[in-house]
Structure formats: C-alpha cells, structure tokens
Amino acid sequence: MLKLPGLIDPHVHFRDPGQTHKEDWDSGTASALAGGVTMVLAMPNTKPPIFDQATLDLALEAARRKARCDYAQYLGAGPENAAEAARLAPRAAALKMYLDSTFGQLRLDDMTLWLEHFRQWPGKTPIVTHSESRSMAAALWMAHMFDKPIHIAHISLREEVLLIRAAKEHGVKVTCEVCPHHLFLMQPAPSSAPSFGDHGAGPGGGRTEVRPRLATQADVDALWANLDVIDCFATDHAPHTLAEKDGENPPPGFPGVETLLPLLLTAVHDGRISLDQLIEKTITNPRRIFNLPEQPQTWVEVDEKAEYEIKASELHSRCGWTPFEGWKVTGKVTKVVLRGREAFKEGQILVEPGFGRNVRD
Ligand code: NCD
Ligand code: ZN
C-alpha cells in the first residue's frame, strides 16, 4: 500500500451553473475523490461565465451546497472586467484568459484587452492562459513586461515546451501544465481509423475532439523529454455527454479527473516518471503556484500493484464516457481521507455534497 497526499487538479470544468446535464459540483467532485483528487480549481466558462461578483457568488453558492472535495473557482477575463476581476482576486482560484478560442462573454478580441488584465491583476496568483503556439509567445511577453506570474494551461506542442524552457531561463515568471491526454494520446491518423496513442485503437469522430488538439508523435515525445520544464499535471476535465460527442458538431473536451492518478501511477510503474515527479507535479507545485493551503489529515491510499481496466461505467462523471476506455492501468485508489473523514473507500463515495470547503474562504 502506498500513501500519497491528496492530489490537486488545477484545471477542471464542472459545468455548474448552467450545463449540469454534463456535470455539476456534486458529480464532478465525486469523480475527483474517486481519483484521489482532494482539491480542484474550477474553470469559469460556465453558463453564465464567472466574471464578476454576481456570477462568482452564483458558482460559489452551488459549490457550497454540492461540492464533496475542496475547491476554488476561477474568474474569467472578459473585455470589460479587468478592474472588477482584480478586486475579486482574493476570492478566486486565479484569473483565466482565453486567448485563442472564442468564448461568449469571455471573448478578448484584441490584445489591448489582454493588456488591461496584465496591468491590473494583483499577481498573488497567476494569470492562466489558454494560449496555443504564437499567442502563447505573445502572452509570455506581456507577462514579462508587467512582471506578473503566468501559468500556461495544457501545453501540447514541442515548440511550446521549448519556448517555455527558454522563457524560464530568461527569468520570465512562467509555469505550465500538461494534461494526461496530451502525454498518452496522439492525433488520429488522417485517413485510416483513428489511432489513440500507443495503446491501440480508440474511439473515433467527435470523441477525439479536444482543445488543444491531440498532437503529433514528435510533440508527444518532446513533452516527455522536457518534463523537467513542466510544473503540473492537470486534467482539463471537460465533460460532454456521449450523445453530444457522437452527435453533429461535437464539442471539444475529455473527462479526466478520475483517471489522472491511475494513468500517472502506470507511468511510474512503467518507469516513465518517478514517484517524486508525480508528487511534485500533482501536489507540491500546484500548491505553490496557486497559493493553496495544505489540507490537514488528508491522504490517498493506493494499491500500486493492482491492475485493472478503465471503464466509463465505473467512473463517477455524469458524461458517461472516457477516452481511455479499456486501458489497462496499474495502480488503484483504494481509500481517500479528506480532513479526517473517510471520503472514498472501495468504490464508494462516503462524504455528502457540501463537505467540500472553498479554500479561498
Ligand atoms: C473546454 C470545455 O469543454 O470547456 N474544452 C476543451 O476541449 N478543453 C473548453 C476549451 O478549452 O476549449
Ligand atoms: Zn479547460
């Protein structure tokens, strides 16, 4: 039996308020606990998006009633909320900026809008950017100009990890995260049946849609080769239902909060990462980067020899599928204790909705 501190996932989408048929604070935090994750930072692209006092209150009230593990809520950077976001910063996980994709009220049409956020955000927590490739380079430059910490979400490309290495060497206050799906899965082959990494064929069509997209073998190899530059493992848990994924216009996103630890334990078992790296990138670093409190009397028990198959039918997310269906993993979460309470044991969630605490309170 292996005992770990509770994991922190700094990047989840729990769809609450607004799209609770995909997930809510209850099902999302149940899924987290079953995966050994005892603290989550929730993204603001809900309906409505979380970008001012009223919407922050709305999300936090839902979380207060329903969350089973500890949490904090991100604020989204919109075109007109830089001052209010800065004022609300102490109550937020951090600030999220969507620089590539377009997101309703979180849409930042030109770079002068980014500028206001970099100018005003207090910087006790980072500005977290969804910024791919060249927009990542622009964001790095802005962070450097204002001497503010920036955290690059879900890096997926060789050029990204190498640019971040160079930026760190030049003293930019940059940190970054990588998602399991960008380490373990690759983009589908253009003509043949979609291939899903080195574990054989996986689902096709809409189920391979995720942002950033799954990348090439060269990108995946570069991420593994430069793990020392990568500060955190984060899931970007982005649940959409199977009907949505298999329908017309499938929305991008993979669930992941419950499969993070088994996949990483398997990488430890296979000698691809060390247990120290796992702990550093899922606990120590996220705690430091996001200025998160320690969770007293909190730990995860793992049977590191247990082999089993990942099955969506056994996961707690409301979305009903996983891109890792049928994968054989080594390392099973057997028990989770959160602030002295048994929260998960032998497949059962043992804490009620509302047990979770807002770590910014
Ligand atoms: C995210 C979601 O579903 O909220 N999807 C994803 O593929 N990561 C949104 C996004 O970042 O595009
Ligand atoms: Zn995301």
Whether ligand 1 lies within 6 angstroms of the CB of 319 is answered as no
Point out the ligand nearest to the CA of residue 103: 1
- Residue 282 alpha carbon to ligand 2 centre in Å: 17
CA dist., res. 2 & res. 130, Å (int) = 34
Point out the ligand nearest to the CA of residue 9: 2
Within the chain, what is the greatest distance between any pair of CA atoms?
A: 53
Looking at the chain, the whole-number percentage of residues with pLDDT higher than 90 is 92
- Other C-beta atoms closer than 10 Å to the C-beta of 165 total 16
- Other C-beta atoms closer than 10 Å to the C-beta of 361 total 8
Whether ligand 1 lies within 6 angstroms of the CB of 182 is answered as no
Whether ligand 1 lies within 6 angstroms of the CB of 45 is answered as yes
Tell me which of 178, 236, 257 to substitute to probe ligand 1's pocket, judged by most ligand atoms within 8 Å of the beta carbon: 236
* Domains contained in the chain, CATH given: 2-349 (3.20.20.140)
Instruction: Give tens-digit pLDDT for 237-276.
Output: 999 999 999 999 999 999 999 999 999 999 999 999 999 9
Whether ligand 1 lies within 6 angstroms of the CB of 130 is answered as yes
- Residue 223 alpha carbon to ligand 1 centre in Å: 20
Whether ligand 1 lies within 6 angstroms of the CB of 236 is answered as yes
For residue 147, what are its two tokens? 């001497």
Contact 130, 99 (CB under 8 A): yes
Pairing label, strands 328-338, 299-309: antiparallel
- pLDDT for position 102: 74
CA dist., res. 22 & res. 320, Å (int) = 9
Ligand 1: residue whose CA is nearest its atom 5? 253
- Residue 253 alpha carbon to ligand 1 centre in Å: 5
Question: How does DSSP assign 68-124, residue by residue?
Answer: SSEEEEPEEP-SS-HHHHHHHGGGSS-EEEESSS--GGG---SHHHHHHHHHHS-SS
Burial 72-86 (b: 16+ CB within 10 A, else e): bbbbbbbbebbebbb
- Residue 153 alpha carbon to ligand 2 centre in Å: 8
Whether ligand 1 lies within 6 angstroms of the CB of 62 is answered as no
Contact 172, 144 (CB under 8 A): yes
Whether ligand 1 lies within 6 angstroms of the CB of 258 is answered as no
Ligand 1: residue whose CA is nearest its atom 11? 211
Ligand 1 atom nearest the C-alpha of 211 is 7
Whether ligand 1 lies within 6 angstroms of the CB of 214 is answered as no
Strand partners, 329: 308
- Residue 124 alpha carbon to ligand 1 centre in Å: 25
Tell me which of 9, 12, 13, 19 to substitute to probe ligand 1's pocket, judged by most ligand atoms within 8 Å of the beta carbon: 13
Ligand 1 atom nearest the C-alpha of 101 is 12
Whether ligand 1 lies within 6 angstroms of the CB of 16 is answered as no
DSSP helix/strand/coil, 175: strand
Ligand 1 atom nearest the C-alpha of 153 is 11
pTM of the model: 0.96
Give every residue of the chain whose pLDDT is below 50, as ranges.
Answer: 192-195, 197-202
Contact 232, 175 (CB under 8 A): yes
Ligand 1: residue whose CA is nearest its atom 10? 211
Sort 63 into a burial class: Cβ within 10 Å, 0-12 / 13-18 / 19+: buried
In the numeric block, the tokens 């983009």 are attached to: 187
